[in-house]
Amino acid sequence: MMDPNSFITYAQNREDLVLAAFLDGVKKGFYIDVGAAHPVIDSVTKYFYDRGWSGINIEPIKRQYKLFEKQRSRDINLNCGVGAKEETLVLREYIGMEGRSTFSDNEKEEYAPSAEYKEYPVKVRTLKSILDEFEPPKIHFLKVDVEGLEYEVLKGNDWVRYRPEVICLEANRVAENCQILLSKEGYKNIFFDGLNEYYLAPEALGRLAKFNFPRNVVEKSYHALRHHHYSGWEEDVKNIKTLDEQNSQLRSQVDELEKDLQDLREKMHAVYTLSLKDKPLRHRLKAAGIGLTTDWLKFKKTARKKQ
């Protein structure tokens, strides 16, 4: 039995704790994370990966995707979006708020006035095409958090062939449509954590009997999440301070080198603008040598022509 008091949660809203409660006892399971964001910070799958699980992480921001490639060698990591059909869409990446990055026009209108962003085209695939490619034998949970296009992600799956036991779905946007779609596929909405809805496949309803998750357990886990985040932030602050100091030192060295280079240029300019008689002896001797060599070559060339 999972001990929630000793559980270290990484997810933003303790989604990993809820999923672990549903999937207690599963060893080396398989997950799919659509909108994976980061391999550690606010990650729903980090807890499971550390316990031998593996899965598919799908993240459209290339910088974030590369972190998964570096830290999740056991996983399949894809740099693309997921939607209802295969196409190319414009991703709006919010600077400093990557978790809000979106393909949704509605979400773009909501955040545009108050956030800095950049936009670029990203390939979008369907969940069906991805699962057809990798053919996972069993999916223990599917997590979807794509800032407004959750319905499109679900619509693009083959629900006859690919049926996750548990679905964790961010439900503060188009949850009504998602509930209708999932209900038609036989899924039961069995838990709400304040942000996400959790669905069980009918063939996995037996897991509900083991699910014992009172609200106070969620609150007890909150300190673990905060501790994890604060520890990471403190380490980042230290690293930034060190890098700032190193950058300052390097900037000073560059300034000194630029000053030395400018002094050298001025001295060279002064030397080359003097008349020959005012230049140092070594320069006059060098010029004389060049002149004598040139005259000698001309003399030899003229002598050959006369012969």
Task: Tell me which of 229 and 258 has the higher pLDDT.
Answer: 258
Answer yes or no: are the C-beta atoms of 163 and 201 closer than 8 Å: yes
Q: For the residues of 23-82, what is the DSSP string, one character each?
A: TTT--S-EEEEET---SSTB-SSHHHHTTT-EEEEE-S-HHHHHHHHHH-TTSEEE-SEE
Q: Is 243 helix (H, G, I), strand (E, B) or coil?
A: helix
pTM of the full structure: 0.67
| Cβ-defined contacts of 228-235 (< 8 Å, 24+) | 228/8, 228/9, 228/10, 229/41, 232/40, 232/41
Cα 92 to its chain centre, rounded Å, is: 14
Question: For residue 299, with 0-12 CB atoms within 10 Å meaning exposed, 13-18 middle and 19 or more buried, which class applies?
Answer: exposed
Q: Which of 119, 95, 86, 87 is nearest to 105 (CA)?
A: 119
Residues 6 or more apart whose CB falls under 8 angstroms from that of 181 comprise 151, 154, 155
| Confidence (pLDDT) at 217 | 47
Task: Tell me which of 106 and 214 has the higher pLDDT.
Answer: 106
Q: Does residue 280 surpass a pLDDT of 70?
A: no
**Helices and strands, number each (H, E), in the chain:** 9, 10
Amino acid residing at 121? P
Question: For residue 213, with 0-12 CB atoms within 10 Å meaning exposed, 13-18 middle and 19 or more buried, which class applies?
Answer: middle
Digit-coded pLDDT (tens) for 215-257: 444 444 444 444 444 555 556 666 777 787 888 888 888 888 8
The C-alpha atoms of residue 122 and residue 180 are separated, in whole angstroms, by 29
The C-alpha atoms of residue 92 and residue 120 are separated, in whole angstroms, by 7
Task: Tell me which of 140 and 307 has the higher pLDDT.
Answer: 140
Digit-coded pLDDT (tens) for 125-172: 999 999 999 999 999 999 998 877 889 999 999 999 999 999 999 887
* Chain position carrying tokens 């974030």: 64
Task: Tell me which of 222 and 178 has the higher pLDDT.
Answer: 178
Domain boundaries 4-213, corresponding CATH code? 3.40.50
Digit-coded pLDDT (tens) for 15-38: 999 999 999 889 999 999 999 999
Q: Where are the chain's structural domains?
A: 4-213, 216-273, 275-306
In order of 79, 101, 109, 250, the CA distances from 95 in angstroms are 18, 9, 16, 27
In order of 160, 266, 278, 284, 290, the CA distances from 287 in angstroms are 90, 21, 13, 5, 5
Q: What are phi and psi of 184, to 5 degrees?
A: -65, -25
The C-alpha atoms of residue 286 and residue 92 are separated, in whole angstroms, by 65
Answer yes or no: are the C-beta atoms of 124 and 88 closer than 8 Å: yes
Give the tokens for residue 244.
């700032």
Answer yes or no: are the C-beta atoms of 89 and 81 closer than 8 Å: yes
In order of 29, 81, 124, 132, 262, the CA distances from 127 in angstroms are 19, 10, 10, 8, 60
